[in-house]
Chains A and B, each alone.
Chain A
Amino acid sequence: MSVGEASGGGRTPHPVCAAAELPPGRRRIVTIEGKSIGVFNVGGRYFALRNRCPHRGAPLCEGQVVDLVTAPAPYAWENERFGEIIRCPWHSWEFDLTTGRSVCHPDSIRTKSYPAGVAAPTEHDRAEAYEAAERGGVVVVWV
């Protein structure tokens, strides 16, 4: 979902705001095609996530933007990927802002559909992500 890729994939570009209105470290939550979407500037790169946590439906994009905390060994905390993780305001599930993937279960596949009346076998693990980029001084999201 990098800025350099040819955008679109059949999706429609929507202007969000002037790039100057979304400086690094900030976010904006906008409604596009009836969907609440958070657009983030992470160190000059833009990312967008559906403002809905796949766990309990919380407004995910209102959560804290944090670093990825890791440890090469017990008791050795290390922060990396500064500001690239969003922590859901309910229950603190962590998602990778750049992909929507769950930090705890990055490889789990988001269940998109299942037979009517049948519960999904597991919670959805991935937040819906959209491409976002700056085009001619405007932040654009493809939805």
Chain B
Amino acid sequence: MGARVRAIDTDAHHQLRGIADLKPYLSRHDWQRLEEFGMPRNSNLYQASGGFRGARADCFGAGDDVDPRSRIALFQEKLLDGCGVDFAILQGEYTPAVLALADLDFSAALCRATNDWTLAEWVGRDPRFRLALTVPIQDPVLAVREIERLGDHPAVVAVYAVCGSPRLYGQRHYDPVFAACVKHGLALALHFSNEGIGMNPAPTAGGHPSYYAEQYLVRPQFYQAHLSSFLFEGTFEKFPQLRVAFLESGFGWVPAFRWRADATWRSLRAQTPWVKRPPSEYMREHIRFATQPFEDPEPAGALTAVLDGMDAEQTLMFSSDFPHWDFDPPDAIVRRLPESLRQRVLVETALETYPKLPR
């Protein structure tokens, strides 16, 4: 099947139309609570985003009050049919807020309900959708319970985690989650969000940036912190089959990080001797980078150096971020890539990263 697939979008964001969507999937008790207090909202430290309310302004044709993320027909028209995307992996727009809840059982209830709703109302209505499972990763016991419940659903291809977290993900606290991912053939999909809110530390070591633009710019460091943790805690020695998708991390920084990681290991290896190989080798085997937002390195030729330096043939895969404001369409992205990388980026690397995608 791989040869016939035109493009796999590893990062699209859907949303509830309203809380009523979840009523069939909640206990009476949890529904009454949701009805009274509403959905938790994604923290917005800035009351600002890009585009119009964070989405493509050209996607509000149904009116300002209708969130384009909630319109399955829009995804079909503009992404799946319009862009030739044959599979789109959904990372719920609602997920970060749900994972920021300190009330773990309510968080778990909302995870279950949103997963069930997505499988019924999105995947059930269009088999081109796949789901990165929302799990209460702030509590690995409850997270594993949700992975056990739905991990074998054929449309569930990943577990969704956000960078904002009380702990770095390489720490052993999370090992049961990764064991469950491997057991069910799921990738871990890591995406920014929740940095500096709720129970989580500030988004930068120097505190909170003042503006959304700063937070947007420094996102690579969120991923670098978790990546460093994965590498030096030995996550990939413990879970040799685990693949981690970095979504919206950018990728221009990857070659420099690899150099620095290898140099660090060479000097300090003895402190974490279970790191048996240069960190760049673990990165090449286990970390996959999504293209969006595609960086346009300068001068001419710089992109080639970046692609070489990150082993892009093995590590880079397409994402659109539909319908967010900084959306990238597949045709415009592959035009920037050498011919030899196009099929790898559009299809093949994603198939290798998400073993449950059909091939």
Q: B-contacting residues of A (Cβ < 8 Å)? A: 66, 69-71, 73-78, 87, 91-94, 103-104
Q: Which of A66, A71, A93 has the most CB of B within 10 A?
A: A71
Q: Taking the complex as formed, is B234 at the interface, i.e. its CB lies under 8 A from any CB of chain A?
A: yes
Residues of A within 8 A of B259 (CB): none
Residues of B248-305 whose CB lies within 8 A of A: 265-274, 278
Contact A75 B268 (CB under 8 A): no
Residues of B within 8 A of A104 (CB): 265-266, 269, 278
Q: Taking the complex as formed, is B167 at the interface, i.e. its CB lies under 8 A from any CB of chain A?
A: no
Contact A69 B273 (CB under 8 A): yes
CA distance A94 to B272 in the complex (A): 14
* Complex A-B: 12 CB contacts under 8 Å: A66-B270, A69-B270, A71-B234, A71-B273, A71-B274, A75-B172, A78-B273, A87-B270, A91-B267, A92-B268, A94-B270, A104-B278
Residues of B within 8 A of A69 (CB): 270-271, 273
Taking A69-B273, A104-B278 as contacts, is the C-beta distance between A74 and B268 under 8 angstroms?
Answer: no
Q: Which 3 A-B pairs have the closest CB atoms?
A: A74-B234, A71-B274, A71-B273
CA distance A73 to B237 in the complex (A): 8
CB distance from B246 to the nearest CB of A (A): 22
Partner of B267, one of A77, A78, A93: A93
Partner of B274, one of A76, A87, A94: A76
Name the residue on B nearest A78 (C-beta). B273
CB distance from B232 to the nearest CB of A (A): 10
Contact A92 B267 (CB under 8 A): yes
CB distance from B349 to the nearest CB of A (A): 27
Contact B237 A74 (CB under 8 A): yes
CA distance A140 to B143 in the complex (A): 64
| Residues of A contacting B: mostly | loop
Report the number of A-B residue pairs with Cβ-Cβ less than 8 Å: 39
CB distance from B274 to the nearest CB of A (A): 4
Residues of A within 8 A of B278 (CB): 104
Taking A91-B267, A92-B267, A93-B266 as contacts, is the C-beta distance between A77 and B273 under 8 angstroms?
Answer: yes
CA distance A94 to B269 in the complex (A): 9
Name the residue on A nearest B170 (C-beta). A74
CB distance from B339 to the nearest CB of A (A): 28
Q: Which of A66, A73, A74, A87 has the most CB of B within 10 A?
A: A74
Residues of B within 8 A of A73 (CB): 234, 237-238, 274
Contact with A along B233-244 (1 / 0, CB 8 A): 110011000000
Contact B233 A103 (CB under 8 A): no
CA distance A91 to B267 in the complex (A): 6
Contact A103 B269 (CB under 8 A): yes
Contact A74 B269 (CB under 8 A): no
Residues of A within 8 A of B274 (CB): 71, 73-76
Residues of A within 8 A of B265 (CB): 104
Task: Give 6 new A-B contacts, CB below 8 A, not counting A77-B273, A93-B266.
Answer: A69-B273, A71-B273, A74-B274, A75-B234, A76-B274, A91-B267
CA distance A88 to B269 in the complex (A): 13
CA distance A16 to B237 in the complex (A): 45
Name the residue on A nearest B277 (C-beta). A104
Residues of B199-236 whose CB lies within 8 A of A: 233-234
CA distance A76 to B233 in the complex (A): 11
Residues of A within 8 A of B271 (CB): 69
Residues of A within 8 A of B172 (CB): 74-75
CB distance from B279 to the nearest CB of A (A): 11
